[in-house]
Amino acid sequence: MKGNRTVFWMVWAVALVPLVAAVLVWSSGVGLSGASVNRGELVQPVKTLDQWGGDPLLHTGHWSLLWVPTGDCVGGCSEAIERLRRVHDALGREADRVRVMSATELAPGVWVVDPLGNLVMQYPPTYEGQALLGDMRRLLKASRLG
Q: For the segment 79-117, what is each residue's pLDDT rounded down to a tens digit?
A: 778 888 888 888 889 888 888 888 878 888 888 888 988
Residue 70 is part of which domain span? 41-142
80-107 burial string, b = 16+ CB within 10 Å, else e? bbebbeebbeebeebbebbbbbebeebe
State the total domains in the chain. 2
Binning pLDDT at 50, 70 and 90, where does residue 74 land?
low
Complete edge-to-edge strand list for the sheet that includes strand 109-113:
41-47, 119-123, 109-113, 63-68, 98-102
pTM comes to 0.71
Q: Label residue 32 by pLDDT band (50, 70, 90).
A: low
47 and 7, same structural domain?
A: no
Q: Are residues 11 and 55 both part of a single domain?
A: no
Q: Are residues 16 and 45 in the same domain?
A: no
More confident residue, 77 or 66: 66
Residue whose C-alpha is closest to residue 133's, from 103, 107, 102, 94: 94
Looking at the fold, whether 107 and 137 belong to one and the same domain comes out as yes
Q: DSSP assignment of the chain, as one string?
A: -HHHHHHHHHHHHHHHHHHHHHHHHHHH-TT-----S-SSEEEEEEEPHHHHT--HHHHSSSEEEEEE--SS-SSHHHHHHHHHHHHHHHTGGGGGGEEEEE-SSS-SEEEEE-TTS-EEEEE-TT--HHHHHHHHHHHHHH----
If asked whether residues 66 and 106 sit together in one domain, one would say yes
90 and 23 in a single domain? The answer is no
* Predicted pLDDT of residue 27: 80
**Do residues 29 and 45 share a domain?**
no
